[in-house]
Chains A and B, each alone.
Chain A
Amino acid sequence: MADETYPDDLKYHPEHDWARIEGSEATFGITWYAQDALGEVVFYEPPEIGATVSKDSPYAEVESVKAVSDVYAPLSGEVVAVNEALTDNPEQINEDPYGDGWLVRVKLADASEAEALLDVAAYRELLAGD
């Protein structure tokens, strides 16, 4: 498994999801904390391309041997790409949660929603309070 990290360039959602915002699109995934709490991911089924995701609502599930965990959308929009490699290698979510373990790429509905997300300092503060 990866070492505990929280990259500076990401925005964080309190349900332990991250967004990498690039212009009008963003990539989503789950944080190191989320994958560590869940354990080894053995099943992930991506949403369909074209599906609508809504900020603060679950858009997929990740499953470990013991548990099922909802994945929350940090921002609203339309899914334009999914990480197909995770179908056969869901453990990439544990091994590289901010890289090969990305979940979906979304065309954002409202870029201003990002203002409500946490920066890395605020997210670390939230983790420290858990």
Chain B
Amino acid sequence: MESAAALRRTPLYESHLAAGAKLVPFAGWEMPVQYSNGVIAEHRAVRSACGVFDVSHMGEIETEGPSALELLQRLLSNDVAKIEPGGAQYSLLCRDDGGVLDDLFTYRLADDRYLTVTNAANHERDLAWFSDRAEGFDCRVRDRLDAYAMLAVQGPEARAIVLGLTDGELPPRMHTATRVVNGAEALVCGTGYTGEDGVELLVAPDAAPALWKALLAAGATPAGLAARDTLRTEVCFHLYGNDLSVDRNPIEAGLGWCCKEGTGFIGSEAVAEARARGTAEKLAPFVLTERGIPRPGNEVVLQGERVGTVTSGTHSPSLGRGIGMAYVRADLAAPHTEVEIDVRGKPRAGRIESKPLYDPARTDTD
């Protein structure tokens, strides 16, 4: 176990203890993996009502100045020029060889001011990558990790709950706006990692405990990292370190849609080549058609031959079965391919599916 002394705590540490959290080391932080009612109840709360996650461990990098757009266009895989003020965009940070350094949301706060949210484990590397490449650009790159606590409020009732604490309209999906939420200024973002509607709130660290308390009082259920993982896996959102790494390029990860090679971003030539030539493997979602739970590192097997590796695997509370994502031989990545997952020596029957494995919108109308 990582030494507790070395772990960072978010401004909500005491709030987590009060809510009965089980805390675990995660990317250098001491984070709630679940609360007293358990991961299944938390997962269901997000799918049916509203959950709130402390994601203050995620980092923020602000890029500001006349050349901010130019720098970000060079660093990020998507077409950053398409982000209007108050807009949001998903993109990748790539190396020259196309290897993925991180996956990121970028918000345009003002004409020449952008905020990029990083994964906790990658924040320092991302920050160095941004800073090292900012030389010669007329803009400033700033670490804003300590400036924000971040709460993700997710689920069909999330917007109503946040709206009740807010002085104005909430921004629509993939947009952002500054509002007063529970008496404190907040950057409200129409984004999330669960497949549900909802918002993410960035606030000053000292405002976070009162906001957390108000959200719980308004009906939000505290939810931890374990539920965050089952929720994102059901909707096939990538997890950096599992489904993305410097050894994988965006095309094999199925993220070609957020790469606009015409912008000339770092790695664009490698991505263009992978797109044109195809890749040996592709990331594919799958379900188990028999009992069992696939886990990262399990091999995907077809007729006795190893044809891939599971990178995300868990039990789906919504579907009541094992699900996951695996890099498999590209010719097998199409939906309906029958495969086996070798779960610690036991072959379990599975089937490649299309994204998402669980569709909140479709199931609501069932």
Contacts and interface: CB of A to CB of B under 8 A. Distances in A.
Which of A1, A43, A68, A87: most chain B Cβ within 10 A? A43
Contact of B38 (A1, A61, A63): A1
A55 to B, nearest CB: 22
A32 B212 CA distance: 31
B292 interface: yes
B80 interface: no
Interface residues on B, range: 10 to 19
B39 A65 contact: yes
Which of B229, B293, B317: most chain A Cβ within 10 A? B293
Contact of A65 (B22, B292, B315, B344): B315
Interface in A49-81: 61, 63-66, 68
Contacts, number: 40
B248 interface: no
Contact of B291 (A43, A64, A65, A66): A43
Interface in A1-51: 1, 39-40, 42-43, 45
B34 interface: yes
A63 B315 contact: yes
B295 interface: yes
A28 B40 CA distance: 26
Given A39-B34, A39-B226, A65 B40 contact: yes
The B interface is mostly helix, strand or loop, or mixed, namely mixed
A66 B293 CA distance: 10
A64 B39 CA distance: 9
B226 A42 contact: no
B10 interface: no
Given A65-B226, A65-B314, A39 B292 contact: no
B266 interface: no
Contacts of A39: 22, 34, 38-39, 226
Interface in B24-75: 33-34, 38-40
Interface residues of A, number: 13
Contacts of B40: 40, 42, 65
B295 A68 contact: yes
B230 interface: yes
Given A65-B226, A66-B33, A66-B226, A40 B291 contact: no
Given A63-B293, A66-B33, A68-B295, A43 B38 contact: no
B230 A65 contact: yes
Contacts of A65: 39-40, 226, 229-230, 314-315, 317
A42 B38 contact: no
B123 to A, nearest CB: 24
Nearest to A66: B226
Interface string B291-321: 1110100000000000000000011010000
A3 to B, nearest CB: 12
Contacts of A1: 38
Contacts of B229: 65-66
Contacts of A40: 38-40
A32 to B, nearest CB: 15
Which of A43, A61, A65, A68: most chain B Cβ within 10 A? A65
The 7 closest A-B pairs by CB, nearest first: A42-B315, A40-B38, A65-B39, A66-B226, A63-B293, A43-B293, A65-B315
29 contacts: A39-B22, A39-B34, A39-B38, A39-B39, A40-B39, A40-B40, A42-B293, A43-B291, A43-B292, A43-B293, A43-B322, A45-B291, A45-B292, A61-B344, A63-B315, A64-B39, A65-B39, A65-B230, A65-B314, A65-B317, A66-B33, A66-B39, A66-B226, A66-B229, A66-B314, A68-B293, A68-B295, A68-B344, A87-B291
Given A39-B226, A43-B291, A87-B291, 6 more contacts: A43-B292, A43-B315, A45-B291, A61-B344, A63-B293, A66-B39
